[in-house]
Every structure is written in structure tokens, then in C-alpha cells.
Amino acid sequence: METLLNDFSPGLFVVSTILMLALIALMVKFAWKPILTSLNEREEGIQGALDAAEKAKREMANLQADNQKLLQEARLERETMLKEARELKSKMIADAEAQAQSQANKMISQAQEAIESEKKAAMAELKSHVAGLSLEIAEKVVRNELSNKDKQVKLIEDMLGEATLN
């Protein structure tokens, strides 16, 4: 301890204190302040750049998501449009079919009616024609039959016979 105290030099202590104070002051002013400021600025710059990149990435992702959404919407819209069109098409076809059907039915029934009336007319005409013909034939047959006496008798007899049977 005594040696240590003896070794301690007050003069050197004072001189080194003054020199250290000067050194600290000079170093802080000319070295540490500008260095630390620049380092901080650089770090902040890097941080800022990183943040900006992150932000840009996020925006890009948002944009992409938007695009995706738009695309999805467009696809859905197309889908619905196609569906509507398909429905419309089938509806139109069905309508047309129904209309055609009814038209056809109508035409058929008209035709049938026409046929029916034609048929009736034809039948009536045929009837009257046949009646005429029958009358003519009956007239001719009667005339022929009645030309012979025997035959007349025989006819009466036949007729009578039939009548008895009835």
C-alpha cells in the first residue's frame, strides 16, 4: 500500500486529467458526434427503406388481392350471365315449343273440324245420291217385276210370308 501510494504521481494525475478532458471533448466534438449521427441516420435510412419496401409489398399484395377479387367478381358475373342466357334460351325454346304445339293443335282441330264438316256434307250428299239411286233402282226393279203377273203374285206371297214370320 505504501509503495502504491508512493508510486502514485499527483503531477501525472493532474496532467492526465487535463489531457483526458481535452481528448474527451475533442473526440466528442470531432469524432463521436458526427460518427454517431451518421450511423443513426444510416440506420434510420435503412429502417425507412425496409419499412417502405414492406409497405410496397403489402400494397402490392393488396392490389393483387383486389385484382383477384375483381377477377372473381367478373367470373361470377359471367357465370350468372351465362346462366341467365341459358335459362332464357331454354325458356324461349319451351315457349316456342308450347306456342307451336298450341298452334299445331289449333290447326289440327280446325282441320279435323273441316274434315268433319266435309265428311258430313259428303255423307249427306252420298245419302241423297244413294236415295236417288235406290229410288231409280227400285223404280226399275218394280217396273220390271210388275211387268209379269206371276212375279207380282210371287212377290206378294214372299212379302206376306216374311211378314208372318215377323
Partner 1 sequence: MKIVQRSLKCLAIAILMFLPTSIFAFNAGEDGGQVSGKQEVEAYIVHHLKDSHDFNLFSYTDDSGERQHFGVALPVILWSSEGLVTFMSSEFHHDDNGHVIVEKDGLKFTKIHSKIYELEKGATAVSFDADHHATNASKVLDFSITKSVVGILLIGLLMLFWFSRLAKQYKKKQIPTGFGRILEPLVLYVRDEIARPNIGEKHYRKFTGYLLTVFFFIWILNLAGLTPLGFNVTGQLAVTACLAIFTLIIYTVSGNKDYWMHILWMPGVPIFVKPILAVIELVGAFIIKPFSLLVRLFANISAGHIVLMSLIAIMFTLKESLGVVGATSLSFVLSFFLLLIELLVAFLQAYIFTMLSALFIGMAVAEHDHEHEEHAHEISSDVEDVRGDFI
List residues binding partner 1 (CB under 8 A).
Answer: 4, 6-17, 19-20, 22-24, 26-28, 30-36, 38-39, 42, 45
Q: Which residue has the cell 417502405?
A: 52
Residue pair 145/155 in contact by the 8 Å Cβ criterion: yes
Least gap, CB of 56 to partner 1 (angstroms)? 21
Sequence-separated (6 or more) residues with CB below 8 Å from residue 155: 145
> How many other C-beta atoms can be found within 10 angstroms of the C-beta atom of residue 152?
13
For residues 53 and 131, what is the distance between their CA atoms, to the nearest angstrom?
113
Residue pair 49/41 in contact by the 8 Å Cβ criterion: no
b (16+ CB within 10 A) / e for 21-38: eeeeeeeeeeeeeeeeee
